[in-house]
Amino acid sequence: MLVISEEDARVLVSVESAIAAVEKTFAAMARGEARNYPVVREVVGYQDAVFGVKTGCDTSAPILGLKAGGYWPHNLAKGLTNHQSSTLLFDPETGRASALVSANYLTGVRTGAASAIATKYLSRPDSTVLGIIGTGAQSAYQLRATLAVRPIRKVYAWDPSLENIATFGRIVAELGLEYAPQTDCQAVAVNADILITVTPSQRALVEKSWVRAGTHVSAMGADTKGKQELDPALVASAALFVDETAQAITIGECQHAYNAGLITAQSLRGSIGEVIAGFCDGRRTAQEITLFDGTGVALQDLVVADLALRLAAELGLGSRVEY
């Protein structure tokens, strides 16, 4: 079995390669060649932690495995990041464990990749202004991934933490982009061609009236019951796309409009995988508002871990252990 460290994972998997891998597995999901199994997510009852396990298999690759981890809110005081996860890959031919991959960086890069794929297929090609609501650790992944698919020139951003806003601003400046930090979410939303929300919010941060015609929205923060970033009326009025329908209407941004009776499962235009595979339309007009509900699925984690595994084997990285 090969053990791949956090440091090696960062070296091995680029934003661009993650986008390509996740796009391929989204299409495989749409073709019925890849499947995510039911998610386990529970409050631990110790250290205020939340722990989950995501599993799945992509038979087109083939890739089989699981990611386990969650949120430990007191980790920063211990010099660790609050989000901790690891991916265990199995040989699909035999069922034997083949790799243990540190997945903190990979979780960030695969989340950015999913949003960027939605932006690639759903936003207007001439989009140059990015708005980001939430400038924590995930915002850098979102920014870099978006730059891989659209010619962004200016970035508007909001966060309740001035420290986060400043840190994100330094990243934007390093990339040679114009930065416009804002004191409220409305100022971000009204100026954005592409709007990404990536917060742990449990209330609507973006109102329907703030979002201009032609905007693409990637709602990436809601992955648990109760989380919310968008006005349900905005969700109900947009052309809706998801990573996986069952998750979107139960734990994703769509849950609130769904529970309020504003949308049904049939209101969704399709999955992003169906758009990639050519099974459904993406954006139909330059004026419509498109919305991607990215809840995060196991296969995203598995394909980037598999990518790290294959590259590590080629480059002689990682630590091989008897198992």
Direct distance between the N- and C-terminal alpha carbons of the chain, in angstroms, rounded to an integer? 6
How does DSSP assign 28-76, residue by residue? HHHTTSEEEPPPEEEE-SSTT-EEEEEEEEETTTTEEEEEEEEE-TTGG
Q: Rounded CA gap, 171 and 216, in Å?
A: 23
DSSP string, 245-261: HHHHHHTSTHHHHHHTT
Q: How many residues does the chain have?
A: 323
Residue 220: both structure tokens together: 């990436």
Phi, psi of 203 (to 5 degrees): -150, 160
Q: According to DSSP H, which parts of the chain are helical?
A: 6-12, 15-30, 104-122, 137-147, 162-174, 185-189, 232-237, 245-250, 254-259, 272-277, 298-315
Q: In 3D, which of 277, 256, 257, 279 has the Cα closest to residue 267? A: 257
Distance of CA 81 to the CA centre of its chain: 18
Backbone dihedral region of 261: left (phi > 0), alpha (psi from -120 to 50 degrees) or beta?
A: left
Q: Is 288 left (phi over 0), alpha (psi -120 to 50) or beta?
A: beta
Q: Which residues contact 226 (CB under 8 A, 6 or more apart)?
A: 202
Whether residue 67 lies in the annotated active site: yes
**Annotated catalytic residue, options 67, 78, 154, 227:** 67
159: helix, coil or strand? coil
Instruction: List residues with catalytic annotation.
Output: 67
